[in-house]
Amino acid sequence: MDLLSTAPRKISFVASGTPEAEAALADLRSVYGEAGLDGAEAIVALGGDGLMLQTLHKVMQRKLPVYGMNFGSVGFLMNNFAREDLPQRLAAAQATQIYPLAMEVIDASGHRQKALALNEVSLFRSTYQAAKIQILVDGETRLDELICDGVLLSTPAGSTAYNLSAHGPILPIGSPLLALTPISPFRPRRWRGAILNNRAVVTFRTREADKRPVSAVADNVEFQNVIEVHVREDRAAGVTLLFDPGTSLEERVLIEQFRY
């Protein structure tokens, strides 16, 4: 099929706010127009990985594909910037579907709150004292007490982000897996985490919560003083990222595994 016939013509642009990204935003809008979020067939995000995550959360319910161009520091989720032939690049791009984690927390007041995470759900100690966290998988206790700075559950897409910095495993994109990784574990000191089936429901229960308060974070949404946190993958809320041919997210994750 001719790429011109499949190229998105209605594009909406967003930028991170840096001078370079804003200049590119104005330039691209002058060339390709601005469809607006409601009329767009695709979103082009100009910034870094943080902007990409914000944009994906924003368009999750609209099922719009997002193509990023890098104006950030790392740009793991972004493509190189180019002004020319943007509709054709979008038509030729390789699509990767990723699914978020659904987090439900119960805080010390008994309130329940929910959020979605495309990268990871993390629990962190909120004071100078280490957190004490019980970990259950599908209702069965797997670790009675983890004494730590925190713990996280990562999607494959997020496994090369904070999870990797915490010495967690890199998961292939598309694999039916989740990475459970401790953050600075004190006891058991040698526990390095687990790789779980993506159908698993993971529950975190905080111990001595009054003395050792814990916060829970889903990407950039934080809840304080949590008592219990339930996390599962949500297959009803997928998002689509677009990458130039030869630079797919699958390829980037594979390359990351051979870095030294």
CATH number, domain of 209, equals 2.60.200.30
**Are 70 and 80 spatial neighbours (Cβ–Cβ below 8 Å)?**
yes
pLDDT digits (tens, 9 = 90+) for 87-138: 999 999 999 999 999 999 999 999 999 999 999 999 999 999 999 999 999 9
Residue 135 and residue 224 in one domain? yes
pLDDT tens across 214-235, in order?
999 999 899 999 999 999 999 9
- 220 and 107 inside one domain: yes
**Are 108 and 154 members of one domain?**
yes
C-alpha distances (whole Å) from 21 to each of 53, 78, 176, 242 are 16, 13, 35, 19
110 lies in the same domain as 222: yes
Task: Provide the number of structural domains found in the chain.
Answer: 2
Q: Are residues 42 and 130 in the same domain?
A: no
Residues 84 and 152 in one domain: no
The per-residue pLDDT for 5 is: 46
Distance (Å, whole) CA 11 – CA 62: 14
Same-domain status, 109 and 155: yes
Q: Which residues are catalytic, by number?
A: 49
Report CA 36 to chain centroid distance, whole Å: 24
Six-digit token string for 26: 């104005």
CATH number at residue 243: 3.40.50.10330
pLDDT at 80 over 70: yes
Residue 2 has pLDDT above 50, yes or no: no
Mean pLDDT over all residues of the chain? Answer: 93
Q: If you average pLDDT over residues 142-158, what whole number do you get?
A: 96
Angstrom CA distances, 87 to 24, 31, 32, stand at 16, 11, 9
Q: What angle do CA 7, 12, 13 make, to 5 degrees?
A: 115
Note whether 105 and 224 are same-domain residues. Answer: yes
Task: Give CA–CA dist 221/121, Å, rounded.
Answer: 10
Confirm or deny that 95 is annotated as ligand binding: no
d(C-alpha 196, C-alpha 229), whole Å: 17
Tell whether residue 122 is among the known ligand binding residues: no
Say how far apart CA 197 and CA 203 lie, in whole Å.
14
Same domain, 164 and 201: yes
Quick one: CA torsion of 184, 134, 227, 112, rounded to 10 degrees?
110
Q: Domain range for residue 7?
A: 3-98+238-256
Which pair of tokens denotes residue 105?
A: 């927390």
Nearest to 51 by CA among 63, 41, 62, 66: 66
Q: What is the spatial distance between Cα 1 and Cα 192, in angstroms, rounded to a whole number?
A: 49
Q: Is 251 annotated as a binding residue?
A: no
Residue 75 has pLDDT above 90, yes or no: no
Can you tell me whether residue 147 is helix, strand or coil? strand
Judgement on whether residues 139 and 127 belong to the same structural domain of the protein: yes
Q: What pLDDT is recorded for position 72?
A: 83
Asked whether residue 81 carries a pLDDT value surpassing 90, the answer given is yes
174 is in an annotated binding site: no
Percent of residues, the chain, with pLDDT higher than 90:
84
Does residue 9 surpass a pLDDT of 80?
A: no
Question: Which pLDDT does position 247 carry in this prediction?
Answer: 86
Q: What is the pLDDT of residues 199-217, one digit of tens each?
A: 999 999 999 999 999 999 9
Same domain, yes or no: 90 and 146: no
Q: Give the Cα separation of 204 and 126 in Å (integer).
A: 16
Whether residue 120 is annotated as binding a ligand: the answer is yes
The answer to whether residue 177 scores a pLDDT higher than 70 is yes
Percent of the chain with pLDDT over 70: 97
The token pair at 112 is 């329940």
Quote the CA–CA distance of 213 and 253 in Å, as a whole number.
Answer: 35
Is there a binding annotation on residue 163?
yes
Tell me: do 151 and 219 sit in the same domain. yes
**Residue 119 marked as a ligand binder:** yes
